[in-house]
Amino acid sequence: MSANGFFDEGELIAVLTTQPLDRTLDYKAPEGGCFLGAFVEVPLGPRKVLGVVWGPGQGGFDLNKARSVIRVLEVAPMREEMRAFLGKVADYTLTPMPAMLRLATRAPGLGDPPSMRKIYRLGTSLPDRMTDARTRVLDVLRDYGGLAFTLKELAEQAGVTSSVVKGLVKQGAVREEDSPRDLPFPRLDPDLPGKVLTEDQASAVAQLRAGQRTGKYGTTLLKGVTGSGKTEVYLEAVAEALRMGRQALVLMPEIALTAEFLTRVEARFGARPAEWHSGATMTERRRVWRMVGQGEAQLVVGARSALFLPFRDLGLVVVDEEHDTSYKQEDGVHYSARDMAVLRSAICGARVILASATPSLESWANAEAGKYDRIDLTSRFGAAVLPEMKPIDMRAEQMQAGTWISPTLRQAVQQRIEKGEQSLLFINRRGYAPVTLCRACGEQIACDHCDARMVEHRFLKRLMCHQCGETKPMPEICPSCGVEGKLAPVGPGIERLAEEAEATFPEARIAMLSSDLFGSARALKAKIEEIAAGDADIVIGTQLVAKGHNFPKLTLVGVIDADLSLHGADLRAAERTFQLMRQVAGRAGRAEKPGQALLQTFQPEHPVIRAILSGDEEGFWKAEAAGRQAAGVPPYGRMAGIVLSGPEVGPVFDIGNAMARNDAPLRAIDAQVFGPAPAPIARIRGRHRVRLLVKAPKGAPIQDAIARWIAPLRLKGDIRLTVDIDPQSFY
Ligand code: ADP
Ligand code: ZN
C-alpha cells in the first residue's frame, strides 16, 4: 500500500464483505489498482459479493491462489472515519463486522453503474375514463407530491399492473421522462430569512452557533417544553453547519418524520432535504446513499439507521425527541442511535444536539456531570401556555362496569365539543381488550407460540399476539373447557375506548390513532395531518400521538389510565411514565388556546404522578437519579442483557447455568451476573428464552469481559445467543 492508501494491481488486499464470516478475505487488487476503503465486488465461491477494501492482505497462503477483485464500484470509497466508526460500534455492541457493513450499505444496487432510466410523474390531463386502478396510480403520485417513480415502483405502490401506468401515459395523465439515476439534491440556502426569534431562542441559537463554529465535537442537550421552539432553534444550528460547507443530519423517531416537518425545512432553506426512512422507495434510498457520500445532499432527515450513511463531512447531528425508545434498535445490531450519534460525532468532529421536552435520565445525568452542555427553553412560543394538569381520582368517580371514561372527564370533553375544540383520549394499549377471559373456567386465551395473551382486535376481527403478530379468529367456544358463549373481553384497549366514546358522544367525529390500524406509515401520517387540520373532535390514541405532532385545535388531553406504566420490572418504568405523560400533556394548547390535561389515576399520591402534576421535573430527576445511583444501575452502572433461545427449554437453561458458573471474566471486572431466569417473555415464536443480566460498575470494560466470557461457548443446533449492551427494554 502506498502512503496515500493506494494498492497497485495484483497487490494482496484484505476485503471486508457483508457475508457472515469472522474475518476479512484476501484478494488481488484489480486492474488499475484500488484505494483503501473502495467498495468492490469480489468472487466468493460461485457468487459475487459486496465488500470494502479494509487494508493490506493477511497473506500466509499461496499467492497464486488468490482471486482478483472483480471490479471497483463507482461510489465514493468508505472514509477512514466511517471505518473507525463501524469498528467502534462493533466493539461497543459486540457485533461482527460484516453485520456492521450490512447496516452501512442498506441501499440496493449500490454497484450499478450510473445510467438513464424512465421515471414517472403526475401529468397534466385527466384520463378519459377513470377506473379504480387508474385512481390508485394517480393517488400514489399525488400523495408523494412530485416525487418520481420507476415503472415497477409505481405499479407496486398502486397495486396495479404496469400496463395500467402505460395506459395513463398514453392519455397524458402520467408523464414518462428519461432521467439520470441518482440526481444530486437541490441546494439548501442557509441564508434565507428565518423566523424572528424570541430572546430565549436567540440566545440558544447564539450558543449553538458558537459551538458549531468551533468545528470540534461537542454535545448539547436542548431541553424545552413542547412548543418552545426547539425545532426553530436547531434549524439555525443546521443553517450554521451548512454555511460552513458541512453536512447535517436530523434524526427523528420514524413516526415523527412528518410532511409538516419537511415543509418547515423547505420554508427555512428553500428546498427539501434528503429523507431516509422505511417508507422511502429503493430508488430514493440508493440516491440518498450515493449523494450523501458525494456531499450532494447537505441535509438528511431520517430515522435511526441514517446514522450509518456515508457522510462526506458530517458537521451536525440533531437527535430530536432524544428520549424516544425507538432510537434503540432491538434486533440485528442492538445499538442506540442516540449514543452512537455521539460516538460518530466525536470521531468526525461534529456537534450533537439532543432535543427533548423530557430528556432521558442518561442525557440529564451527562449534562449534570458537565459532559454535555445544556440549554433550556422554558416558555412556549407566543401565547401558548403549558396545559394545566390535574388528577382525576378514580376512587371517587362513579364508574359503570366496562367503562373507562369518568364522569369528570366526560364533562370536560363535552365542553370542548361545544366550543369546537379537540380532545385527545390517551390509552397506551392497542386492540380492543388486552385479555379475553372465559367466564366459565377462567382461562385466558394465549398465543400458541409465545408466553403472551392474545389481544382482541375488533377492527381485524381477530385475536392477535403482540409478540409475534400471530392472529387467529375469535373462538366461539372456550379452548380449555369447551363451554360456548362465555368468552368475554376484559379491560380497555384503544378500540374499546373508541366504542365507549362513540356511545358517550354520539354527535362527535372520532379518530383513532394506533399503529396497527394503518397499512403504512404514510397512511398514518396522512391521518395525523387530517386531524391537525381539525378533522376530528375526539382523537383516541396510543403512544403514537405523544411524538411531536402539532394539533393546534387540541385543548384537552384525558389520560385514561395514568397508572398503567407505573408498574413493571423495567428499571425505567417511572422515567417512561413521566416522559409519556408529560409528552401527552404537551399535546394540549399548542396554539393560542390554553390546554388542560386530566389524568385518571387510582394513586394520585404516587411520587411519579405527583411529580408529573406539580411539573417539578428537576425534583423528579434528582429522586430518580438517587434511586438508580443507590442500585448501581444505568446511568450509574453498566448493564448488559444476554438472551439465549432455542426450541427446547432444557438445553437453553443448561447453557445459561454453565455461563453463570463460569463467570471468571466477569468477576475480573467486579461485574455480577444474575440468572439464568426465564426472560420476562419466556417464549416467542415457539422459542424458549432464558436471560442473564450482567451488572458492572460504571467505567468497567463490560464488552471485553463479555466477549471473553462467551468466546468458549459452542452453541449447538438451533440455540442462539444475543447480547444487548445497555438494554432499554427488558423482555
Ligand atoms: P418544539 O420543537 O419545541 O415543539 P417548535 O419549534 O415546533 O417547538 O415551535 C412550536 C410552534 O411555534 C411552531 O409552529 C413554530 O413554527 C412556532 N414558533 C416557534 N418559535 C417561533 C418564532 N420565533 N417565530 C414564529 N413562530 C415560532
Ligand atoms: Zn405469539
Model confidence at 36, pLDDT cuts 50, 70, 90, reads very high
Mean pLDDT across 629-658: 90
Shortest-distance atom of ligand 1 to CA 357: 3
User: Given a cut of 60, is residue 228 above it in pLDDT?
Assistant: yes
**Number of domains making up the chain:** 5
Q: Does 258 sit in the ligand 1 pocket, CB within 6 Å?
A: no
> What is the rounded CA–CA span in Å between residue 584 and residue 687?
36
Q: Ligand 2 mean position to 644 CA, how many Å?
A: 18
Mean pLDDT across 71-83: 92
Mean pLDDT across 88-105: 94
Residue 102 in any domain: the answer is no
Model confidence at 261, pLDDT cuts 50, 70, 90, reads confident
Q: Which of 62, 80, 63, 66 is nearest to 25 (CA)?
A: 66
pLDDT at position 448? 84
Residue 473 in any domain: the answer is no
Mean pLDDT across 254-275: 87
Same domain for 665 and 605, yes or no, is no
Q: Best substitution site from 195, 199, 208, 232 to test ligand 1's pocket, by max atoms within 8 Å of Cβ?
A: 232
Q: Ligand 1 mean position to 381 CA, how many Å?
A: 6
> Percent of the chain beyond pLDDT 90?
47
Residue 479 in any domain: the answer is no
Per residue in 313-353, pLDDT (tens digit) is 999 999 999 998 889 888 888 999 999 999 999 999 999 99
Which residues surround the ion ligand 2 when the cut-off is CB under 5 Å?
Answer: 447, 449-450, 465, 467-468, 470
Q: Does 379 sit in the ligand 1 pocket, CB within 6 Å?
A: no
Q: Does 226 sit in the ligand 1 pocket, CB within 6 Å?
A: yes
Model confidence at 521, pLDDT cuts 50, 70, 90, reads low
Q: Does 381 sit in the ligand 1 pocket, CB within 6 Å?
A: yes
Same domain for 24 and 129, yes or no, is no
Residue 453 in any domain: the answer is no
> What is the rounded CA–CA span in Å between residue 249 and residue 53?
26
Residue 270 in any domain: the answer is yes
The CATH number linked to 160 is 1.10.10.10
pLDDT at position 108? 76
Mean pLDDT across 513-519: 69
Same domain for 392 and 372, yes or no, is no
Q: Residue 568: CB partners within 8 Å, gap ≥ 6?
A: none
pLDDT at position 508? 94
Higher-pLDDT residue of 390, 572: 390
Q: Does 229 sit in the ligand 1 pocket, CB within 6 Å?
A: yes
Model confidence at 707, pLDDT cuts 50, 70, 90, reads very high
**Are the beta carbons of 694 and 702 closer than 8 angstroms?**
yes
Same domain for 413 and 548, yes or no, is yes
pLDDT at position 142? 83
Same domain for 264 and 173, yes or no, is no
Q: Which domain holds residue 256?
A: 199-377
Residue 194 in any domain: the answer is no
Query: Which contacts qualify for 608-617: CB closer than 8 Å, 24 or more apart?
Result: 608/566, 608/574, 608/577, 608/578, 609/391, 609/562, 609/563, 609/566, 611/578, 612/389, 612/562, 612/577, 612/578, 612/581, 612/582, 612/585, 613/389, 613/390, 613/391, 615/386, 615/389, 617/358, 617/582
pLDDT at position 548? 57
User: Given a cut of 60, is residue 569 above it in pLDDT?
Assistant: no
pLDDT at position 498? 93
**Are the beta carbons of 188 and 273 closer than 8 angstroms?**
yes
Q: Ligand 2 mean position to 680 CA, how many Å?
A: 14
Model confidence at 222, pLDDT cuts 50, 70, 90, reads very high
pLDDT at position 594? 74
Q: Does 227 sit in the ligand 1 pocket, CB within 6 Å?
A: yes
Mean pLDDT across 245-253: 96
Q: Ligand 2 mean position to 577 CA, how many Å?
A: 26
Strands 71-72 and 39-44: antiparallel
User: Given a cut of 90, is residue 455 above it in pLDDT?
Assistant: no
Q: Ligand 2 mean position to 482 CA, how many Å?
A: 22
Mean pLDDT across 237-254: 95
pLDDT at position 522? 67
User: Given a cut of 70, is residue 678 above it in pLDDT?
Assistant: yes
Per residue in 347-386, pLDDT (tens digit) is 999 999 999 988 999 999 999 999 999 999 987 766 556 6
Same domain for 299 and 424, yes or no, is no
pTM of the full predicted structure?
0.81
Same domain for 530 and 417, yes or no, is yes
Same domain for 157 and 243, yes or no, is no
Same domain for 672 and 541, yes or no, is no
Intra-chain end-to-end CA distance of the chain, in Å: 48
**Are the beta carbons of 424 and 590 closer than 8 angstroms?**
no
Per residue in 578-625, pLDDT (tens digit) is 777 777 777 666 556 778 889 999 989 888 788 888 877 888 888 888
3-class SS of residue 352: strand
Same domain for 373 and 396, yes or no, is no
Residue 730 in any domain: the answer is no
| Side-chain half-sphere CA neighbours of 668 within 13 A | 13
Q: Does 583 sit in the ligand 1 pocket, CB within 6 Å?
A: no
Same domain for 286 and 234, yes or no, is yes
Mean pLDDT across 644-672: 92
Q: Does residue 32 come out as left (phi exceeding 0), alpha (psi in the -120 to 50 range) or beta?
A: left
Per residue in 418-429, pLDDT (tens digit) is 999 999 898 878
User: Given a cut of 60, is residue 200 above it in pLDDT?
Assistant: yes
Q: Which of 217, 213, 519, 196 is nearest to 347 (CA)?
A: 217
**Are the beta carbons of 413 and 556 closer than 8 angstroms?**
yes
pLDDT at position 640? 92
pLDDT at position 42? 95
Locate cell 434510498: which residue? 285
Mean pLDDT of the chain: 87
DSSP state of 433: B
Mean pLDDT across 305-311: 95
**Are the beta carbons of 444 and 469 closer than 8 angstroms?**
no
Alpha carbon dihedral 641, 644, 645, 648, in 10-degree steps, equals -140
The CATH number linked to 328 is 3.40.50.300
pLDDT at position 430? 82
pLDDT at position 397? 94
Per residue in 251-260, pLDDT (tens digit) is 998 777 777 8
Q: Ligand 2 mean position to 446 CA, how many Å?
A: 8
